[in-house]
Amino acid sequence: MSINYSQYLGARRCCDLKTPGPTGPPGATGPPGSIGGIGLTGPQGATGPQGATGRGCRGPTGSQGATGPTGPSGLSGFTGSWSGEQGSTANFVGYDSSNNSLYYNIAKTFVVDHPTDKDKYLVHACLEGPEAGVYYRGKSEIINNNMITIELPQYVKKLATDFTVQVTPIFNGKLNVLNASEIINNKFSVYGENGKFHWVVYGKRLSIHNVEPNKGEVKVKGSGPYLWI
């Protein structure tokens, strides 16, 4: 059966209709687009757990080295009870079996080449006393038949105390009598007639707290002849 639409077209055109027509079938798929740029790097992931400890291997032990040369022999002592005077030998080491103690009578020495004999050494010992002392010495001259003032190094007044002064006239054909003052403000004066003289100043740097301590009240430190309290 054929339908004649002309009667409708004459009264109302189809393009004047306001309602949408039915959806047509989907079109064909277009070609793929171009690849976009690389994106930003993401944050670092968390650190994974530590792996198990590996198994170490130790190499074989090396061969023993050669034996070194024999060292010098030490001081020889004696075994038995103490006898004799300790000061009778200059360098003496003894062992007292009654109390298992070593006794030393050794001077604190220094050794230098002999100044006039190349085949010898010169051995000198330290001066000892019940205090830590210092000394200063020199040579001077009175030229005004009255006096002369001698000044010590500037640090002496901060280093030592309890000074003593000794002067020795140098003979010039007659006997001179010299007198020295006490040390004041790091200076001392020598009085007398004209003439040259030597002078020596002794001072005390430190005192020893107890020169004769009881053995049961102190503890001796060190070893050998180098002992202190």
Position 85 scores a pLDDT of: 41
Mean pLDDT of 150-171: 96
What proportions of the chain, in percent to the nearest 5, are helix, strand and coil? 10, 35, 60
Q: Which of residues 56 and 155 earns the better pLDDT score?
A: 155
Q: Is the pLDDT of residue 93 over 90?
A: no
- Band (pLDDT 50/70/90 cuts) for residue 186 is very high
pTM above 0.75, yes or no: no
8-52 per-position pLDDT tens digit: 555 555 445 556 667 778 778 778 777 777 777 778 778 778 767
The CA distances from residue 75 to 69, 92, 95, in Å, are 19, 9, 12
Give the integer Cα–Cα distance in Å for 181 and 81.
Answer: 54
Q: 158-179 burial, b if ≥16 CB within 10 A, otherwise e?
A: eebeebebebebeeeeeebebe
Contact 164, 201 (CB under 8 A): yes
Contact 198, 178 (CB under 8 A): no
Amino acid at 24: G
SS3 state at 165: strand
Token pair of 25 as six digits: 């079938």
Give the integer Cα–Cα distance in Å for 173 and 203.
Answer: 33
The CA distances from residue 44 to 10, 39, 40, 216, in Å, are 75, 15, 12, 74
Position 136 scores a pLDDT of: 97
Mean pLDDT of 74-85: 41
Position 139 scores a pLDDT of: 98
The CA distances from residue 35 to 30, 31, 39, 41, in Å, are 15, 13, 12, 18
Q: Is the pLDDT of residue 61 over 80?
A: no
